[in-house]
Amino acid sequence: MSLLPRRWFPFLDWPRPDAALLRGELAAALTVAVVMIPQSVAYAGLAGMPLVTGLYATFLPALAAVLFSRSTRLSVGPSALSAVLVGASLVGLAEPGSAQWVALAVWLALLSGVLQLAVGASGASWMLNLVSAPVLAGFSQAAAVLIIMSQLPALLGLQEGSLAALLRVPPPRLPWESLAYGVGSLAAFELGKRWLPRLPMVLVVLAFTAIVSAATGFDRRGAVLGALPAGFPSLYVPGLLAWEQFLALLAPALVITLVSSLEMAASAKIESQREGRRWDASQDLIGQGMGKLTAAFSGAFPVSTSFSRSAITLYAGARTGWATVFATGLVLLVLMFLTPALYYVPAPVLAAVVMAAVVGLLKPRMFVALWRLQRIEAGIAAATFVVTLLSAPRIYWGVLTGVVLGLVHFLHHRLHPRIVEVGLHPDGSLRDRHRWKLAPLAADTYGLRMDDELDFASASALERQVMEHVATHPEVRHLCLFAQPINRIDATGVEVFGQLRRFLASRGITLHVSGLKLPVERMLRRAGELDDGPLLRLHRTDPEAIAALAAPQQRDSSANSNFNSEGRGS
């Protein structure tokens, strides 16, 4: 078979299964399915969708994603962040759980799926860098807080869906039975995680509470999951959107695409590192896009990669995509035969499932660690956190704010490159002369190093610094640009370099350039800015330049005969 199909259909590279492989993959599938199935139902509620759509989103979408992804052990399905983004994005546009709400959620899946598919197919995976780690961290912290707050009423058995209801209910009238289900389940999850990590505590708690609920008739006194439709999901084709609705969904779809892609990247990088191979970001984005499109036509909501479930899949011993195939088969069994078993599960238990899953996102020490590393990025994370909370339910504005602030910080850095006057350190290296209190390279010499690209964003800063120094130090007769860190130059950089050369020449100042990289040198030579002249010296290495600056007979020489342009640069 030709290489093209294998490039676009990575499942063709899966190993042919044997009995030993299938046993291991089935065991891993069972391990992840006992967590995946209850979480999927719970996250559907978090997204405001009918609960059965959580199973729809875990069945065919997961299968489509693994078939078209290069990383075969990603657990694709409903995730906490994607689900809360869906629920928050549609508030005010429709009633949760209604047919219109489902249609809008399907459109979110379509739009975000097309975006991911386009980014992956075009090889533009660099767009993931638009959301920095501090932005995602700030958003996930705020989202976790909002998710927990949204689930507290259900956990406590309050019917009004608001914590304010708690203040209006006298203690004797509190729904103690519902509260016991919710708080007891949450405690069991946390204790099981600490003391019985190998026990599928979520499945055990759901089964136990469903049995107790059915035996005591809790469905007549409190909220239960109720009847879920059984059977294979039908093909869902949404109607056309009004233009106003389309515009309202664009920003949420973009944010879902970015957040989902970063969730996928976090898990895929771990898998590729364990296997010692290069991560194929473009192909994995194609897989994620296919998963979302499949979710849309299944009548579900946008899916994503669950970091926790992917970790379970990985550490349960899964080796190929066959584990996901078996896991989706288990979901199909639940859809076909076991949905009646979920009828009596108390709603507070489902809220406990969500809260137990997202509590791990709360990491307040992250802000302290960022503050110690980089205060500006810590500020961006904090701003993302605050805006996400304040903009609720339109929490996607938090991510967009973080992205804008990150780009502003990036542009500020590019417009203010690091340009330092250097001196010779006792260890033989060139360092910031003022920070290390070093002597100038020579009495009438100004040596500077630019730790950046020489382009339209940074060139004016170099020009300004050189002109200001020459104006305040009229004794300067030699200026040495240590250019080894400059790995790129554009037309603006070439123009500014030429202007500086002519400015220095007009004052009788010799320009020394050390360590030009080959791409930069070629650009300058094509522009004629490195033509031999009495006031231009080119040096292969920094030690050669330092030696030339230190020797008067070499500094005052009018020739540049020892410079060979062949074989320089890197």
353-388 pLDDT tens trace:
999 988 888 888 999 999 999 999 999 999 999 999
Res 565: pLDDT: 41
Main-chain dihedrals φ then ψ at residue 396, nearest 5 degrees? -65, -20
- 499 with 511: CB under 8 angstroms? no
| R_g (Cα) of the chain, nearest Å | 31
Enter the tokens of residue 476. 């300067």
Which of 8-30 are b and which e, b meaning 16 or more Cβ less than 10 Å from the residue's Cβ? eebbeebeeeeeebeebbbebbe
Res 164: pLDDT: 54
The residues of the chain scoring below 70 in pLDDT are 1-7, 159-174, 552-570
Neighbours of 503 (CB within 10 A): 15
Burial of 468 (0-12, 13-18, 19+ CB in 10 A): exposed
Res 274: pLDDT: 79
Res 283: pLDDT: 93
DSSP label at residue 91: B
- 183 with 308: CB under 8 angstroms? no
Determine the 3-state secondary structure of 489 from DSSP. Answer: strand
Q: What is the dihedral of CA 521, 525, 527, 531, to 10 degrees?
A: 130
Calpha distance 307→32 (Å, rounded): 12
Report in angstroms the alpha-carbon separations of 56 from 252, 294, 314, 334.
22, 10, 23, 11
